[in-house]
Amino acid sequence: MFNKITFDFSISIMTSEKELKKRSNNQCELCSASENLSVYDVPNARDTAIYACNSCVEQLEDSEKIEANHWRCLNDSMWSEHDAVKIMAWRMLNRVNQPWAEDMLGMMYMEDDILELAKAAGDGEADENQIIHRDVNGVVLDNGDSVVLIKDLKVKGSSMVAKQGTAIRNIRLDRNNSEYIEGKVGPTLTVIITKYVKKI
């Protein structure tokens, strides 16, 4: 009996992956990548899955690793005919927290029952304890953004001075302090105060 159950379960998984491969044309259903693909079970949406690449899955599962610009790909996939893809597109557009993502969310159309499934993971709900990082102009900053210094800053632990106008790419947010971000100035990874930067 045990062997039969195990065998039947294996067949079910393989069939599901086979169907997803065919449905997706062997591409990530979110970003269209064609390598390192696997079945990703959509959380809080029973019996729902997508075919996704490792890069997307990593960011789906860990918000600390989200690279905002990667998710511009959702401009295409959010129109998918498959509910599972639309659910994950909606969730990620909420997590990215960028003006362009908000614009895309405004264009999305989802049936009420599918939207409820999309909301089941808690995305789209305001978090009163969420730490928001803003630049000197009040623009929201996110992991992976690029900023420019608005004044000369001494790089702590070195004799280097980062000049006004220096661009710092792929920043990381301090999850415990809304005034701190991290970025590389030359070869040096340093902490920068948000009021001294402007988002590019």
Is the model's pLDDT at 62 over the cut of 50? yes
Domain count, the chain: 2
54 with 14, same domain: the answer is yes
pTM of the model: 0.57
**Residue 108 · residue 89 · CB < 8 Å:** yes
Return d(Cα 40, Cα 154) in angstroms, integer.
45
pLDDT of amino acid 128: 53
The CATH code of the domain that includes 158 is 2.30.30.40
Q: Which amino acid is at 69?
A: N
Q: Is residue 31 part of a domain?
A: yes
Strand partners, 140: 134
Please report the pLDDT score of residue 13 as a whole number. 41
* 137 and 108 part of one domain: no
Listed in sequence order, the DSSP H helices in the chain are 2-24, 54-61, 74-77, 83-96, 99-107, 112-119
Domain end call among 72, 94, 119: 119
- Pick the range with the lowest mean pLDDT from 126-130, 140-144, 159-163, 183-187: 126-130
Q: What is the pLDDT of residue 121?
A: 72
Instruction: Answer whether residue 96 shows pLDDT above 70.
Output: yes
Residue 163: DSSP 8-state: P
**Does the residue 127 lie in any domain?**
no
Q: Are residues 108 and 150 in the same domain?
A: no
Average pLDDT over residues 68-80: 94
Mean pLDDT of the chain: 85
Instruction: Name the CA dihedral angle for 80, 83, 84, 90, rounded to a multiple of 10 degrees.
Output: 70
Residue 106 has pLDDT above 90, yes or no: no
Do both 113 and 39 map to the same domain? yes
> Using CA atoms, how far apart are residues 176 and 191, in angstroms rounded to an integer?
13
Q: What was the pLDDT predicted at 159? A: 78
In this structure, the chain runs to a length of 200
Is the distance from CB of 74 to CB of 60 less than 8 angstroms?
no
Residue 15 has pLDDT above 70, yes or no: no
- 124 or 117, greater pLDDT: 117
Domain of residue 192: give its range.
Answer: 133-199
| pLDDT of 65 higher than 60 | yes
Is the pLDDT confidence value at 164 over 60?
A: yes
Q: Are residues 141 and 61 in the same domain?
A: no
Residue 1 — very low, low, confident or very high, per pLDDT cuts 50/70/90?
very low
Going from the C-alpha of 23 to that of each of 75, 143, 167, 191, the distances in angstroms are 19, 32, 42, 45
**pLDDT confidence tier of residue 27, bands split at 50, 70 and 90:** very high
Residue 98 shares a structural domain with residue 151: no
Same domain flag for 83 and 152: no
Does residue 125 lie within any of the structural domains?
A: no
- What pLDDT sits at residue 70? 95
More confident residue, 105 or 7: 105
Copy the structure tokens of residue 177: 């302090």
Mean pLDDT of 65-76: 93
